[in-house]
Structure 1
Amino acid sequence: MNTKNQTPVVEKKLLIPFILVTSLFALWGFANAVTDPMVQAFKKVLELSNSQAAWVQMAFYGGYFCMALPAAIFMRKYSYKVGILIGLALYATGALLFYPAAITEKFWFFCLGLYILTFGLAFLETAANPYALAMGPKETATQRLNLAQAFNPVGLIFGLLVAQQFVLKNLKSDDISDFSALDEASKILIKTSDLMVIRNPYVILGLVIIGVFVLFLVSKMPQSKDEGTTPNIGETFVVLFKNNKYVLGVLSQILYVGGQIMCWTYIYQYAEAIGVDSVTAGYYQMAAFILFTVGRAVGTYMLRFISSGKLLMSFALLAIMCVLGTIFIEGMIGLYCLVIISFFMSLMFPTIYGIALGDLTEEESKIGSAGLVMAIVGGALMPKLQGMIIDLGGSGVADTKIIGVSEVNFSFILPLLCFAFISWYGYHVYSKHE
């Protein structure tokens, strides 16, 4: 008999705290979605190359890498709640830095704001993911995390709506086909106006996060269940490095996040190559996020009947098929394939997370979760590499052909390799651990 069907995913007494923690998943989803289109926005406004504009993602996901382990070490000494409060404070600070950044009009200042913002997200993810896993029986932990993660796409969709309706539609530089040909005075006026447009959603977001901070501050949250004494951190690292499922899970997570961010960031460049403008491309990204949301719900339900490793493998294989279509089918069909990838990506992050931490104690999970959050650095490194591939033929997106397709199409070979490894990891878990 399947005990998962009998055991509640979330107990009634923990429902309110679980809802509060789940709200964090939407909040960092919003930050992810509102930032992805900024690569294209900064590229146009500040006249950057594809690889230079990718510093937005380098700053955003680099912050995760730098702060995840310190956040985990902090939470070994203190509580998940304190970690969440610090995360929210850093999140708000980074978002509000967009105000002075817009005044100075310096690209590095915007990147600094994103870097600090993601210090906060690193705290939030390092706390919220294992916290959600711990809020109930171990046998339903992966289901519970998938349920919490199901609200991440809600933030994604809302973030993209804000980016599309309040940023992309209002960028004056996007209405000019050859922005670089304008005289300097016109460029300065347009740049100042557009940077203010980019600034506004982040400043408002910072104020909202302050409100969420106050809500968590006054709310009573359950304490984690410590089992005996806290092990030495060195001993914990030894345990983690000896755990093959965990180590491969971290590597899979690096590749997953890299693949996800590449598919979401460069949908704009892919659309540009076939003559679709940025605003319209935003609608396709919206469709991708909706499919991501649906896929997360479908995947969470399917986990009741199919093992996590087997389902992960299946979704990754289907994602590979879609990436092949993205690469080799030029035109709108290729764009549709790129959109559909999101359905199959939806299950991957929380499932890899749950699998990797599945055999660990709660104290080991606090450090283990840091490794999985640090894995988000894949979102910093791989889009940069993809941008370099797109720049091979010049500053455009379809300047040359590689194996018979434009460089922007070919660049999706990187997500293909990512999903190939993830499918193998799913098979490895399914065949040896389930």
Structure 2
Amino acid sequence: MNTPTDKKDARLIGAGMVFPFILVTSLFALWGFANDITNPLVAAFKDVFVINNAQSSWVQMAFYGGYGTMAIPAALFIRKFSYKSGIVLGLILYATGALICVPAASMASFNLFLAALYILTFGLAFLETTANPYVLSMGPEETATRRLNLAQAFNPMGSLTGMTVASIFILSNLQVEDFRTDFAGYHSDQGTQQVETVEYNVLPIFQSTPKERVKDPVMAEYVANNPEKSLDAALADYKDGELETFMGKTHRELQDHDLKIVSTPYMIIGFVVIGVLVVFLVSKLPHTASVGDHREDSSLGEILGRLFKNPLYLGGVVAQTFYVGAQIMCWTFIIQYAQNELGMDKATAQNHNIGAMVVFLSSRFICTFFLKYISPGALLLTLSSAAIGATLGAIYLEGMAGLYSLMAISACMSLMFPTIYGIALEGLGPDAKIASAGLILAIVGGAFMPRLQGGIMDMETFMGVDATRGSFYLPCLCFIVIAAYACLTRLVHARRRAA
């Protein structure tokens, strides 16, 4: 086993691998963008299509379902062909799914949007299953984890871009949001709905400008005649024609406007992906598999047999499942935390979410630097321990201190995914092509764990505290599992050094 000093002296990127490394690293930003521009669609589609929360959650089911469906086939494909072939096919599927959003918008078809996202994540599954082990193979094994961490540092750049596009170009331009604001305003004017105002000390960079009311006369008459109706009921009446127009538009006209707003970024990213595809097609990417290694010709059964005997790999799949669940929970429910605990409006709460992503991105580069001096296992144990402390702060500290503790979790999560990935695939050689599929399958942790946390939030209290804060015991448990895996890593490495 190499010491941290050996790692410091080893080359980070192999000879002749700099351009391929840069090219493959660009993919990390592409799938980060897709992940974080899609998350807000759950809330947007609920109002645009006038459906309930359970129906709108199919956006996430389709998105994560694509990963679960295609991770294993992607691994088998790149094992039979090559890393480059996997990347090319992944980009084709990515672009196809993104561009299908255009006819989905013109047809106002929620199901076609789901199909588009499902196909899009087929491509993401191919890209992640291919790019991660490919980056690991682009240099000395002793710097593999640090090399992957450097590539993964560009993933949150794409995520931050996706979140910003969703906030500025999608959510702020949806006319259904004008409908919500005007409806709530007229209810408040008539005293049928009291809007609670809570003072909170927010840094200016996070404070948003409240959305202005339209004050549509048709809406005013509707609210006056139907003071008992909820927003969801008003949207249903608008869709059914009982509320004939809003801002001079029928429901279908407003829906067409909003779906065009939603589909435009997907159309643009579809063409961007096609451009990246062309670059990959004309570029020569080296074959980095260990030619002549006896494991290259192993059967699938033999590979799986070796993987199931590898404690670092099996533990890595479990740890990755809990990590992805914790990440999605912390980033999904920071808005509810800010709303329920501090009375913030959604826009200001979302700004704190973007701030957490900036913290995440900055921490990735800092932690990647420290990997030159400490082992991946030691870094993972440090980050997971800090995450447990920050999560407990979000649970027990009230006001802005609790919210800032929740944001600080992002700094701790910054390097967990690639570090777990690198440790789990350490020394697997060609087996990594299959092994990586299990780690990509672990992304489904982001599908079911947020549902559990949401169920806890629906309670009044949980484990002696307010339910919103108490729900964060679930991500705290996830970080405990990750800390246990870090301890296992250090134990296994110590035994290897002793041997």
Judge same fold: TM > 0.5, yes or no: yes
Judge conservation of contact 2:337–2:468 (CA < 8 Å) in 1: yes
Identity %: 52
Distance 1:214 1:416 in 2: 44
Residue 384 of structure 2 is matched in structure 1 by 316
Distance 2:177 2:387 in 1: 32
Residue 447 of structure 2 is matched in structure 1 by 380
Q: 1:416 aligns with which of 456, 476, 479?
A: 476
* Residue type of the alignment partner of 1:69: I
Q: 2:272 aligns with which of 208, 228, 231?
A: 208
1:154 partnered with 2:157: yes
Q: Deviation at 1:430? A: 1.2
Q: Deviation at 1:107? A: 2.9
Q: 1:285 aligns with which of 327, 332, 353?
A: 353
Q: Please, which moves more after superposition, 199-208 or 118-127?
A: 199-208
CA 343–308 in structure 1, closer or farther in 2 if over 3 Å, else same: same
Distance 2:450 2:122 in 1: 20
Distance 1:44 1:270 in 2: 22
Distance 2:268 2:63 in 1: 18
Residue 29 of structure 1 is matched in structure 2 by 32
Residue 397 of structure 1 is matched in structure 2 by none
Q: Deviation at 1:306? A: 1.4
Distance 2:124 2:254 in 1: 32
Residue 255 of structure 1 is matched in structure 2 by 322
CA 164–384 in structure 1, closer or farther in 2 if over 3 Å, else same: same
Distance 1:201 1:194 in 2: 12
SS in 1 for 2:16: helix
Q: 1:298 aligns with which of 366, 380, 385?
A: 366
Q: 2:310 aligns with which of 231, 237, 243?
A: 243
Judge conservation of contact 2:36–2:162 (CA < 8 Å) in 1: yes
Distance 1:44 1:326 in 2: 30
Residue 216 of structure 2 is matched in structure 1 by none
CA 138–374 in structure 1, closer or farther in 2 if over 3 Å, else same: same
Kindly name which structure, 1 or 2, has the bigger radius of gyration based on alpha carbons.
2
Q: Deviations over 1:228-284 (max 9, x none)?
A: 242111100110011111001001101111111111122222233233233222321
Q: Deviations over 1:339-390 (max 9, x none)?
A: 11111001100000000010312x1000001111111111122223333333
Give the number of the structure whose residues are more often helix, by fraction.
1
Q: Please, which moves more after superposition, 43-52 or 381-390?
A: 43-52
Q: 1:355 aligns with which of 374, 399, 423?
A: 423
Residue 71 of structure 2 is matched in structure 1 by 68
Query: TM-score, length-normalised on structure 2?
Result: 0.81
Residue 180 of structure 1 is matched in structure 2 by 232
**Across the two proteins, how many residue pairs are aligned to each other?**
426
CA 387–93 in structure 1, closer or farther in 2 if over 3 Å, else same: farther
Q: Deviations over 1:22-66 (max 9, x none)?
A: 000010111111112222323343455555433322221221111
Residue 15 of structure 1 is matched in structure 2 by 18
SS in 1 for 2:486: helix
C-alpha root-mean-square deviation of aligned residues, in Å? 1.9
Distance 2:52 2:483 in 1: 33
Judge conservation of contact 1:256–1:348 (CA < 8 Å) in 2: yes
Judge conservation of contact 1:36–1:264 (CA < 8 Å) in 2: no
Residue 268 of structure 1 is matched in structure 2 by 335
Alignment of 1:186-201 (within 5 A): 186=246, 187-201=251-265
Q: 2:143 aligns with which of 137, 140, 143?
A: 140
